[in-house]
Amino acid sequence: MTPPTPFAAVILAAGMGTRMKSDLHKVLHPVAGRPMIEHLLASVERLSPAKVAVVVGSGREQLEPLVEAHAGTLVVQEPQLGTGHAVQQAQQALNGFAGDVLILYGDTPLVGAETMARMLTRLHEPDEPAIVVLASRPADPRAYGRVIADADGTIAKMVEFKDANAEERGCALCNSGLMAVRAADLFGLLGRIGNDNAAREYYLPDIVMLAARDGRRSVVVETDDWEVAGVNSRGELAAIESEWQRRRREQAMVDGVTLVAPETVWFAHDTMIGRDSVIEPNVMFGPGVTIGERVRIRAFSHIEGARVADGAEIGPYARLRPGAEIGEQAKIGNFVEVKKSRFGRGAKANHLSYIGDAEVGAGANVGAGTITCNYDGFLKYPTKIGEGAFIGSNSALVAPVVIGKGAIVAAGSVVTRDVADDALALARGSQVEKPGWAARFREKMAARKKAK
Ligand code: UD1
Ligand code: MG
């Protein structure tokens, strides 16, 4: 899947995104727990681009850290005069780069590396097309620009919906907006486009007709419409999310994972689940989750940034937060929250607990209602529970604190000092018993009430 020659990616993201009605830049809205533009960058990076330029307008400060993190260059387009004008702004950033240019749209996040490679490869086939356009045949072609092409994929015309006549609007082949062009051709062609059209914009697709005028053919590469679905509104964002999830669930089942009610399980872009694991209904995976084999995730659990080893059981109603590492055969039960803590093999916290910044040794049993008090309002502190220790119900472990191997903490204890291996720690008021007191009390009170 290596492209034939070095290429630069230009990602357009300067559109206003007005229909999102959002303070967040459109391309930062997440699909499967990851900003749209990160999906694109991840695909592009699989092909090792020589350069990446991201064209932005308003909200550029929101994109800066992300673009920097990907070693890309931010290019400002101000004002936004159309897609052709947008690509033109990237010329300086490409700084005389002489390879191919792959033009992508920040709001068309699901285009895969294979398709990108297919476009770049097509550009170098023996007929040497000037431009490769990515197109699809959506069930509902809506207001997409149309690609008028003949049977062998040679493009006769690209026309925006607004400018198209009835016959052209009837054409099923739609422009995804994505193109591959050699840098040596691209900027010359862009310099020649005008804005004499319905939108008064500089249309990128016009370079196809300009190349044709020079006697050079451009060709279309087709893909399925799902891959080039764009996001212009919250509704379209939800539609993409929903279809992404549907496909991911199918893949999970193909990979040997049982989903009891597939339509209720939500994955993140990087969720990994081993075979013969069972995911019960209404489970949500945030980013950064790895689940081993033969794991059971019971209903209504919320899991993010966590690793769960083979044969463990989670939930129902469990919450695993970032840094949770659950060992083999371990059990995290209902209403237990685990953050940045490691559970050893076979360790258990079965009911109603908060375990944070802790290490729980193999085979330890954390009783119902145990809380690690890991935070004093300023700093966080660690708790260590040794192998085979037993923490009685409703205990508060005030960190930093170490409970030794095989130690027992009596129920209801507030433990503020370390407990030695195999010791019993009792840290609660000791019980006082007054024989017959309750009976005498009832007698006295009943008499008092009667006298009233
Ligand atoms: C564009 C195409 C249309 C295609 C459709 C696919 C043109 C003229 N039309 O139309 O043929 O069917 O995409 O979705 O190219 N952008 C800028 N600067 C601008 C204008 C746009 O960076 O001045 C960016 C936007 O942020 C977006 C992309 O370019 O990422 C597409 O812009 P948009 O306004 O959505 O174009 P469409 O009208 O959808
Ligand atoms: Mg659009």
Condensed to tens digits (0 to 9), the pLDDT of residues 254-277 reads 999 999 999 999 999 999 999 999
CA separation for the pair 374, 354 (Å, rounded) = 10
Give yes or no for residue 398 having a pLDDT over 90.
yes
Per DSSP, the chain holds a count of helices (H) and strands (E) of: 10, 37
CA separation for the pair 395, 412 (Å, rounded) = 5
Give yes or no for residue 90 having a pLDDT over 90.
yes
Range of the domain at 195: 7-228
Which atom of ligand 1 is nearest to 15's Cα? 26
Same domain, 191 and 261: no
Confidence class for position 288, pLDDT limits 50, 70, 90: very high
pLDDT at 16: 80
Give yes or no for residue 15 having a pLDDT over 90.
no
pLDDT at 324: 99
Give yes or no for residue 238 having a pLDDT over 90.
yes
Q: To the nearest whole percent, how much of the chain has pLDDT over 70?
A: 100
Measured in Å, residue 30 CA sits from the centre of ligand 1 at: 20
Measured in Å, residue 387 CA sits from the centre of ligand 1 at: 60
Q: Once rounded to an integer, what is the mean pLDDT over residues 337-357?
A: 98
Same domain, 204 and 333: no
Residues with CB under 5 A from ligand 2 (ion): 230
* pTM of the full structure: 0.92
Q: 157 has which bridge partners? A: 148
On whether residue 235 sits in a domain, the answer given is no
Same domain, 191 and 319: no
Cβ pair 146, 164 in contact under 8 A: yes
Burial class (CB in 10 A: 0-12, 13-18, 19+), 204: buried
CATH number at residue 347: 2.160.10.10
CATH number at residue 60: 3.90.550.10
Same domain, 168 and 286: no
Same domain, 155 and 264: no
On whether residue 187 sits in a domain, the answer given is yes
Known catalytic membership, residue 351: yes
Structural domains in the chain (count): 2
Amino acid letter, residue 270: D
CA separation for the pair 74, 129 (Å, rounded) = 29
Ligand at shortest distance from the CA of 236: 2
On whether residue 349 sits in a domain, the answer given is yes
Measured in Å, residue 103 CA sits from the centre of ligand 1 at: 11
On whether residue 143 sits in a domain, the answer given is yes
Give yes or no for residue 25 having a pLDDT over 90.
yes
Burial class (CB in 10 A: 0-12, 13-18, 19+), 382: middle
Condensed to tens digits (0 to 9), the pLDDT of residues 366-380 reads 999 999 999 999 999
Give yes or no for residue 1 having a pLDDT over 90.
no
pLDDT at 142: 87
Taking CA 394 as the corner, what is the angle to CA 393 and CA 398, rounded to the nearest 5 degrees? 115
Pocket test for ligand 1, best of 20, 28, 83 (most atoms within 8 A of CB): 83
